[in-house]
Structure 1
Amino acid sequence: MSLHSLDLSWNRLFSVKQKSFSALPSLSKLDLSSNQLSSLPLTGLESLTHLRLAGNDQLMESLPREDLPRVRLMELPYYFQCCAFISCERRGEGGGLWWEREEASHPTGRDSSSPADQDWEDFLLEFEDEPKPQRSVHCSPTPGPFRPCLHLLGSWMIRGGVWLIAAISLVSNSLVVLSVFLSPLSSVTPPKLLIGLLALVNGLMGVWSGWLAAVDAWTFGSFWRFGVKWDSSFPCRLSGFLCLFASQTGLFLLTAATLERCLWSGAAVRSDRPDGRSGCLLTPPAVRLSICICFLLGVTVSLPPVITGNTSTSFCLLLPSSSSSSLAFAVSLVLLDSLCFLIMTLAYIRLYCRSNKAPPTSDEEVALTRHVAWLLFSDCLLYLPVASLSFSSLLRLPVAGPEVAKGILLLVAPLPACINPLLYLLFNPLAREELAALTTHTCTGVATKRQGAAGGEQLDLTCGDDDAEKQSCDSTQALVVFGGGREEEEGGGRGSRKMKTSEAFDALQH
């Protein structure tokens, strides 16, 4: 048959038989988009130049390039299936608004009567006489920095930065949690409770960075083979939840800590007490209630990507796109974060204005207030590039290219999880004292246990020596008794012999 074009889109096809296209040697255009295919036999499609498979979400397998030697234009369900048809030099090239290019390149299914068919014909006529070695394949959706083919993290600079952030975040936040909750030096006050929980939440950001680093190492050089399964897997959605939950809950806890410091300062001024504690308006039950609200807000904000299962990148994060739901979610996050930083800034400005009126306070309270101020300053500075990237995506402004956006997402956004605990450990003398006390207490406990074990062994050895000595004494006594008996027997024998001898001598005399 001389059939050149075949359109089978929107037919709810579940499967295609192995040799369905063998009788169509002249087939050059095949449209199977918006069906439910899970596999596609390529037998008899050697002359195919145009192939549409967009909308077949169950089709996750890669198509071998050698089975489609003449293909020039492809529309596939997933980004990673195009990696076999696009040269490494062209993967992810270009700048500008990467989210617009990816959304534009993602097919949604077209009607067969649309002008795209005429474009296909023109494209085919334009390249019909092109020599085979110079042919280039136009495949969509196109891979890029956020949908990589070879390496998830890309460059070695980003890879090393992600590993460093994961290690520092996990170690430093663990030290802060230990110093706050396990130190015998001081009790857990409301501001220390907030700082300890902030460190615990920041540690989850380190878990996310470590998770991405582990996936990059596991799929090193061949990420496209696992990209489809990774993007649609539950571990990917869970890692995205951890990242978003850590960033948002950490921001809410920092806001609660800032408000607690502001209320404490106001109460200290009104109470006119040196310690400034008894007049605090934010009681421990109120602090616990605010902590519960922060965690509930964090879970509520972080659940949509897990429920929908749609992510814009292979880093399992829901970034702005052309869809209304994604755009509304991104706008809500940006506005909510900006509101939190505005509230914290106003609260600390008010606290600074009251600082001259407040009575002298304890060193611990001053150190905690200074630490929260450092956290606010550093997190606000690190939020600026993230906010600029978000606003540029919302306003469709080409502020940053895809590589810069990837660096901000992987290296700048998780930085508060590293800087927050380091500020507490390095610039707060109370933290160093707590860690030293915890170390001393731990070492003392270990030494006491060892001494107790050594004392038990020494007691056992002493008891063993006493038993041996008692047995030796018994043996000696037995030997003495036995020797005395023999001497008595020998003495008695000698006496009887002497008596017998004297009797015999007397008999001889008579």
Structure 2
Amino acid sequence: MIDLEHNNIRKIKTKQVSNVKAEQLLLNYNDLQVVEEAAFAGSEIANLSFKGNYRLKYLHRRAFHGLQSLRFIDLSSTAITFLPTEGLREIDTLKLQNTKSLKVFPSVFNYQFLKEAWLTYPYHCCAFKFPWTHNRGEYEKHSRFIEQLHEACDSRNSTIGHVFKPYDDPSLEALFHFMPLNASLAINDEDNEIWGDRNEVFHNTTSASFPVTTALCGEIYRNYHEVKCHPAPDAFNPCEDLMGNWGLRIPVWIVALSACAGNLFVVLVIATSRFRLTVSKFLMCNLAAADLCIGLHLLLIAAVDACSIGAYFNYAIDWQEGVTLSFYEEFEILKSAVLFLTSPIFNHGSSSKN
């Protein structure tokens, strides 16, 4: 174990931690701000921890390029806004607790062997339950890759081996690390043959000028539902849409539009009336204005739901922590206070007339 905690390290430059072999490297609670490209190139580190580097904001997208044997990484309590995928594809444990700056989680298809994830937002765990909804582009790429694997496996039934070029479609290049989990490949440079775990031989007959990968038939699917993700979504942070279903969505729109139109009409009528503004009319106008605010708030929620149908958890973090919702929350508090103070006066005036 290499312990470099509390050492006031501010920057890790390219290849500054190279050719290091360690079971664990601790860089916790330093003053790290920058990790450059290929900072750990050539190293073999199983556990890597950056916990407590509160000013670590710039993490190069290829910061872990060339790092081998990594199985555990902890980026908790940092200020990163982007999580690299290169170099992290084979990790089985990921920790990103108390990292509120990271609002966008990468596609789960970038983590083939992940077993456990400790994240900041419950909505990020929805990515493991609904990978298609979370990132449809990556899902479609992965689906095309699976289709190519199936074609290769089908062709193998009639030939000794099937060698194909996945890079005919450049969009598949980033996904071609997905190989059968039960396959073990070894390349013999002397006779240019590829051996599988069932003593099957696949002869490489393709020109060396093209990238070539041999697919072994077997279990080629990864069930991301089995990944243990924390904190799990709950009733207050669901993966489902805001309204849940159309049986609720349609009445909400009707109520919101009716509240806005009706109360706006009352406010305009009283405000433009030629008659003297009495106390009762003023209180009635105040009540209508308060109800109008409720209608506008409900209309805003309905609009957000309409814009995020089927993928609310992808927008939930920005929505809940955004400026718009904060403004409306403060506005609602002010409206409720005014309504609470003026309602007794309105009720007292009505009782006096009776």
TM-score bracket, normalised by the shorter chain, equals: 0.5 to 0.7
Q: Which amino acid aligns with 2:325?
A: C
1:209 to partner: Cα distance: 0.6
Deviation per residue, 1:244-292 (Å, 9 max, x gap): 3333422322122123445xx3xxxxxxxxxxxxxxxxxxxxxxxxxxx
User: Does the residue aligned with 1:159 lie in a helix, a strand or coil?
Assistant: helix
CA distance in 2, matches of 1:178, 1:236: 27
Q: Is the 8 A contact 2:52 2:78 kept in 1?
A: yes
Stretches of structure 2 that go unaligned for 5 or more consecutive residues are 1-20, 22-43, 132-218
Q: Could you tell which deviates more after superposition, 18-27 or 220-229?
A: 18-27
C-alpha distance 39-47 of structure 1, shift in aligned 2 (>3 A): same
1:87 to partner: Cα distance: 4.2
Does the alignment pair 1:242 with 2:331? Answer: yes
CA distance in 2, matches of 1:47, 1:10: 24
User: Does the residue aligned with 2:296 lie in a helix, a strand or coil?
Assistant: helix
Please provide the CA RMSD for this pair.
2.7
Give 1:5's match in structure 2, choosing from 47, 51, 59: 47
Give 1:37's match in structure 2, choosing from 80, 89, 96: 80
User: Does the residue aligned with 1:3 lie in a helix, a strand or coil?
Assistant: strand
CA distance in 2, matches of 1:157, 1:26: 51
1:150 to partner: Cα distance: 4.9
Query: By percentage of residues, which structure has more strand?
Result: 2
Q: Is the 8 A contact 2:83 2:105 kept in 1?
A: no
CA distance in 2, matches of 1:17, 1:209: 41
1:206 to partner: Cα distance: 0.5
* Structure with bigger gyration radius: 1
Give 2:305's match in structure 1, choosing from 211, 216, 229: 216
CA distance in 1, matches of 2:267, 2:102: 46
C-alpha distance 214-17 of structure 1, shift in aligned 2 (>3 A): closer
Aligned residue number for residue 232 of structure 1: 321
Residue correspondences, number = 223
Q: Which amino acid aligns with 2:324?
A: P
Query: By percentage of residues, which structure has more helix?
Result: 1
Aligned residue number for residue 237 of structure 2: 147
Q: What is the correspondence of 1:314-325 to structure 2 with a 5 Å cutoff?
A: none
CA distance in 2, matches of 1:215, 1:20: 36
CA distance in 2, matches of 1:241, 1:157: 30
Q: Which amino acid aligns with 1:74?
A: A
Stretches of structure 1 that go unaligned for 5 or more consecutive residues are 89-130, 266-364, 367-510
1:53 to partner: Cα distance: 1.1
CA distance in 2, matches of 1:58, 1:134: 28
Deviating above 6 A after TM superposition, structure 1's stretches of 4 or more consecutive aligned residues are none
CA distance in 1, matches of 2:50, 2:305: 38
Q: Is the 8 A contact 2:241 2:310 kept in 1?
A: yes
User: Does the residue aligned with 2:94 lie in a helix, a strand or coil?
Assistant: strand
Aligned residue number for residue 157 of structure 1: 247
C-alpha distance 133-56 of structure 1, shift in aligned 2 (>3 A): closer
Aligned residue number for residue 57 of structure 2: 14
Deviation per residue, 1:100-133 (Å, 9 max, x gap): xxxxxxxxxxxxxxxxxxxxxxxxxxxxxxx975
Q: Which amino acid aligns with 1:59?
A: L
Aligned residue number for residue 125 of structure 2: 82
Q: Is the 8 A contact 2:112 2:222 kept in 1?
A: no
Give 1:28's match in structure 2, choosing from 71, 74, 81: 71
Aligned residue number for residue 121 of structure 1: none
- Does 1 or 2 have the higher relative contact order (CA < 8 Å, sep 6+)? 1
Overall identity of the aligned pairs, in %? 26
Aligned residue number for residue 72 of structure 1: 115
CA distance in 1, matches of 2:247, 2:331: 24
1:234 to partner: Cα distance: 1.2
CA distance in 2, matches of 1:18, 1:180: 60
CA distance in 2, matches of 1:247, 1:17: 47
1:199 to partner: Cα distance: 0.8
Aligned residue number for residue 193 of structure 1: 282
Aligned residue number for residue 266 of structure 2: 176
1:43 to partner: Cα distance: 1.0
Q: Which amino acid aligns with 1:251?
A: F
Deviation per residue, 1:377-402 (Å, 9 max, x gap): xxxxxxxxxxxxxxxxxxxxxxxxxx
C-alpha distance 17-45 of structure 1, shift in aligned 2 (>3 A): same
CA distance in 2, matches of 1:216, 1:7: 38
Q: Which amino acid aligns with 1:60?
A: K
Deviation per residue, 1:401-432 (Å, 9 max, x gap): xxxxxxxxxxxxxxxxxxxxxxxxxxxxxxxx
